[in-house]
Amino acid sequence: MPEAGFTWCGSECAPSGFIDEYPLGWQLSALPSVAGAQFVNPQQPDQIAVYKRLDNPTMAADQLLAAEIQTTYASKPGYEAPQPPTGQAATIGGETWSTATIAYMSDNQTKEHVAVCVTVHQGKIFVMEFQAPDAQFAQVSTAYYNIMIGKFQFIQTGTP
């Protein structure tokens, strides 16, 4: 049973090796170039959660975290590197994840806050990215992201 105000990403997310809840009314879409899903608040399109699964990890989670941040965010305007740069450990879905937060300026000059989490689970890389305007990030995390993180579950790829 999902939390009040949430729904399951089951059959859409299961092929990527996980299931989770996401807020009712948010738009779920597949990612264009990797396995995973993106959840966007249509009322505020810079409230975004992205879950990716990549194959064949070649580095440890903290190195993969640094590479993800460098590839996805470092070239954005107003990019602020993570503090501390090594990332912190968090337990999500029973695994230890390497996490860091960064900031950048969006096209409309809003400072965006992004929490990035990376782990290697059963030979696959899993990445979660949670974004919201910096001024709203704590509130959005409490209302949505913390629940999503708390309900995240790994599953065997291909099982419902």
Task: Write down the pLDDT at residue 85.
Answer: 67
pTM, full prediction: 0.94
- pLDDT, position 65: 94
pLDDT tens across the length of the chain (160 residues): 889 999 999 999 999 999 999 999 999 999 999 999 999 999 999 999 999 999 988 899 999 999 999 999 999 999 999 876 667 999 999 999 999 999 999 988 999 999 999 999 999 999 999 999 999 999 999 999 999 999 999 998 644 4
pLDDT at 157: 61
38 three-class SS: strand
- pLDDT score at 158: 44
What is the strand order of the sheet 153-154 is part of?
6-9, 18-23, 153-154
Q: Give the burial string for 36-67 (b: 16+ CB within 10 Å, else e).
A: bbbbbbeeeebbbbbbbbbeebeeebbebbbe
pLDDT on residue 121 = 95
Does residue 36 contact residue 16 with C-beta atoms inside 8 Å?
yes
- pLDDT score recorded for residue 159: 40
Domains of the chain listed by start with CATH number: 6-154 (3.40.1000.10)
122, two tokens: 């059963």
